[in-house]
Amino acid sequence: MYRFNVSNSMQGNNRQIGGTSAGGCGSCQQSSCQCRQNRRQPSSCQCQQSQSQPMTCRPCCCPAYVVCCCGGTTTTPSPTTFSVTYDPNGGTGGATDSNLALGTRYTIKSNGEVNVIRPGYTFTGWNTEPDGSGISYAAGSTIDIKGDVTLYAQWDPITFDVSYEANGGTGEYNDPDIPANSQYIIKTQDQTGITNAGKTITSWNTEAAGTGTSYAPGSSTTLDKDLTLYAQWST
């Protein structure tokens, strides 16, 4: 009660193989399996189910043949080449290396080689998962190609510290881990807790003597490095 259809422009050249396929292939263990060969290209099969009996499918022929077992599945050749894709994962750039043969020993590229960048972040490596929970790979390490691979860039934010010095007063204040290139608001005297009897902070300066860059309390600056500020006191 099984039926199969063969879709092929060269049906006249097809020859049906019975219980054992040609070329040294093993026997088909399902009686409903039929193997067909076309001299120019493989046949494509469509199987239909009898209402009285469920369909089953089992690959049972050599790669040169198409197996049509009633089960609605046609076997297709396994891919012979694969690719490695570099995903910037929040950054920009990326690339794909294609046509890599199965078993190829492949060297993982650096972020520079695939133009992956992310301003304000340091590249730390690659991982098979975006959140870093998969397998980690360093640039220059090797893998054996077994299938398609996607590698996601891993990033650590670049941060800077701002230190406030009493410069003759009492106390100190540190503001750590400020993201790079962010707008930073300079702290006021009250926010730092720095004191100097009878005096107030009029400004902060990158030099204790006041000869460097001056910052007013409450003003903003873009951080591109660690910053040490010295209190400048009223007289």
Structural domain ending residue among the three candidates 74, 109, 126: 74
For residue 13, the tally of other CB atoms under 10 A from its CB is 11
pTM over 0.75: no
Structural domain ending residue among the three candidates 24, 50, 74: 74
pLDDT reported for residue 59: 43
- For the chain, how are helix, strand and coil distributed in percent, rounded to 5? 5, 45, 55
Q: 109 and 63, same structural domain? A: no
Structural domain ending residue among the three candidates 74, 102, 131: 74
Q: Which of 180, 193, 188 is closest to 227 using CA atoms? A: 180
Confirm if 217 and 188 have CB atoms less than 8 A apart. yes
List the chain pLDDT tens, one digit each, 235 residues.
334 343 333 333 333 333 333 333 344 343 344 444 433 434 444 444 444 444 344 444 434 434 444 444 445 566 789 999 999 999 999 999 999 999 999 999 999 999 999 999 999 999 999 999 999 999 999 999 999 999 999 999 999 999 999 999 999 999 999 999 889 999 999 999 999 999 999 999 999 999 999 999 999 999 999 999 999 999 8
Q: 149 and 87, same structural domain? A: yes
Q: How far is CA 47 from CA 6, 44, 54, in A?
A: 9, 10, 12
Count of structural domains within the chain? 3
Alpha-carbon gap, residue 62 to 75, rounded angstroms: 11
Tokens of 8: 């092929």
Q: 41 and 91, same structural domain? A: no
Tokens of 62: 């050599």
pLDDT reported for residue 134: 97
The domain in which residue 23 lies consists of 3-74
Confirm if 91 and 121 have CB atoms less than 8 A apart. yes
Run of H or E including 79 = none
CATH of the domain at 126: 2.60.40.4270
